[in-house]
Amino acid sequence: MDTTILNDITIILGLSIFIIYICHKARLPLIMGFLLTGMLVGPHGFGLISALHEVELLAEIGIVLLLFAIGAEMSLKDLWNMRKAVLLGGFLQVSLTALVTYFLATWAGYGINESIFIGFLISLSSTAIVLKLLQQRASIHSPHGRTILSILLFQDVIVVPMILVTPILAGVNGGADISVIAIIAKGIGGILLVIISAKWIVPYLLYQVTKTRNQEMFLLSIIVICLSVAWITYSMGLSLALGAFLAGLIVSESEYSHQALGNIVPFRDIFMSFFFVSIGMLLDVGYFLQQPVLFVSIALGVLLMKSIIAGLVPYILGYPLRTSILVGLSLAQVGEFSFILSRFGVDYGLLDDNVYQLFLTVSILTMALTPFVISSAPKVADMVMRIPLPQQIKCGLHPRPIEKVTDQKHQLEDHLIIVGFGFNGKTVAKAATTAGIPYIIIDTNPETVREERSKGENIYYGDATQESVLEHADIDNARVMVIGISDPVASRRITWATRQLNSHVHIITRTRYLQEMEPLYDVGADDVIPEEFETTIEIFVRLMRRYFVPEEQIEMFTAEVRSDGYEMFRTLSHEPMDVERMQFDLLNEDISSFRVLLYSPVVNKTLAELDLRNTHEVTVLAIRRDSETLPNPAGSVRLLAGDVAVLIGTPDAVRAVRHLFGDEE
């Protein structure tokens, strides 16, 4: 059995843990740790890795999963709203960057075709690194985040025509017969695939899968959807990453997107680590050490040039200066698809070995510096905004209207999260609706989710024990969470995960049994409502009302029981309740109802004539006549056949007047 790939994975992950720990202590970005790991284990380092192709394949899967996750966070409506930024913004960024690079390359002595190709390489940015960092900073749905995503999507599409043009630049006719019409047709086909799958195919398939309540089957289904759509688009001549993004868009249109993200995220993070390691493995440290100052200077020059051009594009589109600066600094690096494109350039003779190594070294340096650039971007933007520039410059050339975020979960703030939509969850939702409290529901029953979504409920399918599901329910901005499920283990896990993500949210959880109270409090619950005690309280309340205990005393009793965590009931078998301390005024009275029959002695007589209070020591509290109730009736009221008289008195007195009515209700 060949264990080469297993050995390589173990080495990569083991060394990554050690290096990432050092980076964590040194407050360096984790991406730096992975890049450094790649440099050490790669062929230009200690040569510890032999299965280079397999590692590159794992890296490709990481990019696929990342783009799938990004797509699942979007929607078709979001993408449509971004069309101007995708088409015009992406075109301007790629065109201007390639054009400026072309002039600089020709000035440096390269040929026209080589300069055009180098312009292609430099114009692309790193989708994987930028989107990963934006996700970590929760900036994907910000104005600059959406603009960055738009431009990156255009880059992922335009790389295909760049690959097709490469043989033509090299003077080879292999790509001349490629029809532009065919490329357009493939693009239209991809769009139709997304629309049809998102509206009909995938929701139906996932509904059938989730009905089985089998988490493994659901996970496999999501992975198959992701990889199959990526493969279909790749077979059409487009990139795997673009296909994965489209697959994410398809899933995002269903109610299962939250759970899909929760399942994919752990795999995405693992495979993305291989991507960063694979990039680090490309760097020839020996080559870099020959002229480190030159390489660093060129890398800084590329970062500066791309920042200016990429920042100019959103400014032209009407975004304010601050947003433009954030976009420019985020897109300043060279991208991973440039490495793929560069291999075509080497194969067709557009790049010699020296230029190829220069390109790799500079590109990897720009990638390594990207975490620092993006983290410092807000500070740089704030510094520029403090410069006394005219307000028109700060607001943009033609200020755009403020974009409304279409994803409902991003409109929620100070909201309620309801976990489980059984009887308790529905009751809480009705109360929240009445009180005007915004809420979001998470449930694992696909039939419930489907039915309630059709009614307009803000409900999503998902396992709330997963932090990513809670994050997509906007747990950071929630005020209260109500956990109304019957699974005690899951309740504890949800409570713990919620408390880790938001230390201020008020967690109310239901439990069936007493022994579950302390574990829930231990993991962070604020209020635990045990069903068995609440049932006991309700019984006790009704008992006290039967004995005419004043309502204020009943309310004091229930408040006291709940305020001490039901301690009164917990110690019931050991310490009897002090009834005298509670000051209940128990009365030895009974309330009974009697129907007035046709042959009854009281028929057609007034209450004054009967004088039941003086003759039998009972009082008529009310008379029910048909659908009407006569409370505290006057002495002139006459009893009719069919009436129901409600009497109060001692048990013996009430029994003594039974014969007057002829029967008891």
Greater model confidence, 188 or 19: 19
User: What are 79-115's pLDDT values in tens digits?
Assistant: 777 888 888 999 999 999 999 999 999 999 989 999 9
Do 100 and 224 fall within a single domain? yes
Residue 434's nearest CA partner among 422, 416, 450 is: 416
State how far the Cα of 448 lies from the Cα of 256, in Å rounded to an integer. Answer: 12
**Hey, what amino acid is at 283?**
L
Residue 409 in this model has a pLDDT that exceeds 70: no
Please say whether the dihedral angle defined by the alpha carbons of residues 221, 226, 227 and 228, taken in this order, is positive or negative.
positive
Residue 402 maps to a domain = no
Greater model confidence, 307 or 226: 307
Do 271 and 417 fall within a single domain? no
Residue 393's CB: how many other CB atoms inside 10 A? 12
Task: Please tell me the least confidently modeled range out of 25-29, 224-228, 518-522, 568-572.
Answer: 568-572
Q: 554-561: list long-range contacts, CB under 8 Å, 24+ apart.
A: 556/582, 557/582, 561/533, 561/537
State how far the Cα of 570 lies from the Cα of 588, in Å rounded to an integer. Answer: 29
Do 75 and 150 fall within a single domain? yes
Please say whether the dihedral angle defined by the alpha carbons of residues 30, 33, 37 and 38, taken in this order, is positive or negative.
positive
- For the packed helices 127-136 and 143-169, what is the interaxial angle rounded to 10 degrees? 170
Residue 217 maps to a domain = yes
Domain containing residue 515: CATH number: 3.40.50.720
Which residue range forms the structural domain that includes residue 103? 4-395
**Residues of 102-120 as b/e, b for ≥16 C-beta within 10 angstroms?**
bebbbeeebeebbbbbbbb
Interstrand relation of 459-461 and 480-483 (parallel, antiparallel or unpaired): unpaired
Residue 324 maps to a domain = yes
pLDDT of residue 411: 54
Give Cα 291 to chain centroid, integer Å.
Answer: 46
Write the Ramachandran bin of 389: left for phi over 0, alpha for psi from -120 to 50, otherwise beta.
Answer: beta
The whole-number average pLDDT for the span 357-376 is 92
Q: 640-644: list long-range contacts, CB under 8 Å, 24+ apart.
A: 640/596, 640/603, 640/604, 641/596, 641/597, 641/598, 641/600, 641/603, 642/595, 642/596, 643/595, 643/596, 644/593, 644/594, 644/595, 644/596
State how far the Cα of 643 lies from the Cα of 646, in Å rounded to an integer. Answer: 10
The whole-number average pLDDT for the span 449-459 is 87
Residue 404 in this model has a pLDDT that exceeds 50: no
User: Are the beta carbons of 457 and 441 closer than 8 angstroms?
Assistant: yes
Residue 401 maps to a domain = no
Q: Which residues pair with 625 in a beta bridge?
A: 628
| Phi/psi at 609 (5° precision) | -65, -40
Residue 163: CB partners within 8 Å, gap ≥ 6? 340, 341, 344
* Alpha carbon distances (Å) from 154 to 228, 443, 647: 22, 36, 82
The whole-number average pLDDT for the span 2-18 is 86
Domain containing residue 603: CATH number: 3.30.70.1450
Do 557 and 504 fall within a single domain? no
Residue 400 maps to a domain = no
**Hey, what amino acid is at 527?**
D
State how far the Cα of 467 lies from the Cα of 444, in Å rounded to an integer. Answer: 15
Do 417 and 477 fall within a single domain? yes
Do 177 and 307 fall within a single domain? yes
Q: Point out the domain boundary residue: 361, 395, 429.
A: 395
* Alpha carbon distances (Å) from 264 to 246, 278, 462, 477, 632: 15, 21, 13, 24, 68
Q: Point out the domain boundary residue: 525, 553, 568.
A: 525
| Residue tagged 């014969």 (tokens) | 659
User: What are 594-634's pLDDT values in tens digits?
Assistant: 888 888 888 889 999 888 888 888 888 888 888 788 888 88
Do 133 and 266 fall within a single domain? yes
Residue 401 in this model has a pLDDT that exceeds 70: no
User: What are 288-297's pLDDT values in tens digits?
Assistant: 888 999 999 9
Looking at the 3D structure of the chain, how many domains does it have? 4
Domain containing residue 106: CATH number: 1.20.1530.20
pLDDT of residue 558: 74
Greater model confidence, 451 or 184: 451
Greater model confidence, 70 or 574: 70
Do 367 and 460 fall within a single domain? no
State how far the Cα of 532 lies from the Cα of 525, in Å rounded to an integer. Answer: 18
Do 209 and 268 fall within a single domain? yes
pLDDT of residue 295: 93
Q: How confident is the model at residue 647 (pLDDT cuts 50, 70, 90)?
A: confident
Residue 501 in this model has a pLDDT that exceeds 80: yes
Do 627 and 489 fall within a single domain? no
User: What are 541-582's pLDDT values in tens digits?
Assistant: 776 666 566 666 777 777 776 666 565 555 544 444 444 444
Residue 286 in this model has a pLDDT that exceeds 50: yes
Residue 345 maps to a domain = yes
Do 577 and 599 fall within a single domain? no
Average pLDDT, the chain: 82
Residue 349 in this model has a pLDDT that exceeds 70: yes
pLDDT of residue 332: 95
Please say whether the dihedral angle defined by the alpha carbons of residues 312, 314, 320 and 325, taken in this order, is positive or negative.
negative
Residue 533 in this model has a pLDDT that exceeds 70: no
Residue 610 maps to a domain = yes
Q: Point out the domain boundary residue: 525, 541, 563.
A: 525
Do 172 and 258 fall within a single domain? yes
Residue 442's nearest CA partner among 425, 457, 410, 420 is: 420
User: Are the beta carbons of 244 and 229 closer than 8 angstroms?
Assistant: yes
Residue 475 maps to a domain = yes
Which range in 274-278, 316-320, 504-508, 646-650 is most confidently predicted, on average pLDDT?
A: 504-508
User: What are 465-497's pLDDT values in tens digits?
Assistant: 878 788 888 898 899 999 988 778 788 889 999
pLDDT of residue 175: 45
* Alpha carbon distances (Å) from 134 to 129, 161, 371, 400, 455: 9, 27, 10, 23, 34
pLDDT of residue 562: 65
pLDDT of residue 258: 75
State how far the Cα of 533 lies from the Cα of 521, in Å rounded to an integer. Answer: 16
Q: How confident is the model at residue 310 (pLDDT cuts 50, 70, 90)?
A: very high
